[in-house]
């Protein structure tokens, strides 16, 4: 059973994932129309929103010690507009993120830029899970590969997928499920320099970086000094990291 941590975040220790695909639940015509209206308004408010393919979570349960069965459904971002439709049910989102430790015993946290869906929010680098190609299965190696890609795109840090270890699974706001991969330890100057270079490269192309700031923290208490919203899983994961270091 998961340990329940404030604020209402479940944290699972897991050694292996079992991934099972399910069909997307059918919507009534009324819910489908209401969903589309909510989505269209959201796009008008933020033209950067894109209705691309993503993976939602349809179930999460332990089958054996250390083994977690995760059922998934291929949807698009529009699906999550159902959260704002009274009486409708949206599947929880599924995302990967990366815990990047440093040789100074700290862990990297990052702030989302103003152009994103969660401007100003502090979180771990990561993103929504993308579905596999048609006819292919989603496997755990794909998830590690997506986590490695997020680390490269957002922070300019390059790690082979094989070096990332599934470290924790969280379930928090709206039932959203996060798969947290732990990356190999890096020197702190290398982390800062890579982020600065990646952000500069994005701006040179006329694009706003997805992350506009980073911080290296060594305890959950240090998160309190980061103003703005925090992802609900952030404090429990930082606490788990420092607990494992014996602090």
Q: Where exactly are the structural domains of the chain?
A: 3-244
Strands (E), the chain: 3-5, 9-12, 16-21, 53-64, 67-76, 94-99, 107-112, 122-123, 126-128, 165-171, 177-182, 211-217
pTM for this model (two decimals): 0.92
pLDDT attached to residue 8: 74
Q: Is 230:111 a contact under the CB 8 Å cutoff?
A: no
Residue 121's closest CA among 6, 233, 13, 222?
A: 233
- Beta-bridge mates of residue 95: 128, 178
Q: pLDDT digit string (tens) for 137-164?
A: 999 999 999 999 999 999 999 999 999 9
At 2 the pLDDT is 41
Are 151 and 159 in contact, with CB atoms under 8 Å apart? yes
Residue 127 has a pLDDT of: 93
Q: How confident is the model at residue 4, as a pLDDT? A: 38
Q: pLDDT of 89-119, one tens digit each? A: 999 999 999 999 999 999 999 999 988 878 8
pLDDT of residue 5: 43
Which of these CATH numbers, 1.10.1040.10, 3.90.79.10, 3.40.50.20, 3.40.50.1820, describes 3-244?
A: 3.90.79.10
For residue 1, is pLDDT > 70? no
- Least confident window among 8-12, 31-35, 165-169: 8-12
pLDDT at 7: 52
- What pLDDT, on a 0 to 100 scale, did the predictor assign at position 98? 97
pLDDT digits (tens, 9 = 90+) for 47-85: 888 899 999 999 999 888 889 999 999 999 999 999 999
pLDDT tier at 245, thresholds 50, 70, 90: confident
């Amino acid at each position: 059973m998961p340990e329940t941590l404030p604020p209402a975040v479940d944290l699972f220790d897991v050694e292996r994932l079992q991934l099972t695909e399910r069909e997307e639940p059918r919507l009534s015509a009324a819910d489908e129309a209401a969903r589309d209206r909510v989505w269209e308004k959201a796009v008008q408010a933020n033209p950067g929103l894109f209705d691309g393919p993503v993976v939602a979570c349809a179930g999460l349960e332990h089958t054996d010690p250390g083994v977690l069965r995760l059922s998934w459904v291929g949807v698009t971002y529009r699906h999550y507009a159902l959260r704002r439709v009274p009486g409708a049910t949206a599947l929880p989102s599924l995302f990967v993120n990366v815990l990047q430790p440093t040789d100074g015993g700290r862990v990297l946290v990052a702030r989302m830029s103003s152009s994103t869906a969660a401007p100003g929010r502090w979180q771990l680098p990561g993103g929504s899970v993308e579905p596999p190609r048609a006819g292919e299965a989603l496997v755990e190696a794909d998830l590690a590969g997506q986590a490695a890609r997020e680390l490269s795109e957002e922070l300019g840090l390059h790690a082979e997928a094989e070096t990332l270890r599934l470290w924790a699974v969280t379930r928090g706001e709206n039932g959203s499920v996060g798969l947290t991969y732990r990356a190999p330890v890096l020197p702190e100057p290398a982390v800062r320099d890579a982020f600065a270079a990646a952000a500069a490269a994005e701006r040179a192309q006329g694009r706003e970086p997805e992350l506009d700031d980073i911080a290296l923290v060594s305890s959950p208490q240090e998160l309190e000094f980061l103003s703005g919203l925090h992802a609900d899983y952030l404090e429990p994961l930082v606490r788990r990291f420092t607990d494992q270091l014996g602090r």
